[in-house]
Amino acid sequence: GAATMATVPEVEIDADGTFKYILVRLQRPGGEERQDIVRGTKAAEFHNHIFEKVNPEMEKLGFECKCLGGGKIEHNSKDKKIRVFGLSTGYGKADHSVTVEILKKVYTDYEITWSDDKK
């Protein structure tokens, strides 16, 4: 059967470093159910590289993807800190406050902040 949204990890980001991220909205075609997920990795030189990887994976599960914007994440696992900032040239700036709320669900014992700083 089709995957449920609950089976999709809300956050997949690199364990350390500073890297690009995107905020993606998943939706069932014609359905009401939706979920926003955060994806980020150092492997991506551009924001669309992340989307090009996520989109086919989600389509296989029967979800439509829409990129809500992007930015950067600075992940310091040693100090348990995450900083969300910056923007995506192609997709525009994600709502970092939304991103932070999603990250908090996963990184419950972290200090997570955001700003509109470029770096």
Number of domains in the chain: 1
2 found inside a domain: no
Q: Read off the pLDDT of residues 54-77 as tens digits, 9 standing for 90 and up.
A: 999 999 999 999 999 999 999 999
Which residues are annotated binding-site positions for substrate?
20
pLDDT recorded at residue 2: 61
How would residue 112 be classed by pLDDT, with cut points 50, 70 and 90? very high
Per-residue pLDDT at 1 exceeds 60: no
Q: State the CATH number of the domain containing residue 111.
A: 3.50.20.20
Q: Read off the pLDDT of residues 79-104 as tens digits, 9 standing for 90 and up.
A: 999 999 999 999 999 999 999 999 99
1 found inside a domain: no
Which residues are annotated binding-site positions?
20
List, by residue number, the catalytic residues: 47
Q: What is the rounded CA–CA span in Å between residue 112 and residue 37?
A: 16
53 found inside a domain: yes
Kind and range of the H or E run holding 38: strand 34-41
Question: Residues of 6-28 as b/e, b for ≥16 C-beta within 10 angstroms?
Answer: eebebbebbeeebbbbbbbebbb
Query: Do 38 and 11 meet the contact criterion of CB atoms below 8 Å apart?
Result: yes
- 108: containing domain: 7-115
Tokens of 42: 């150092």
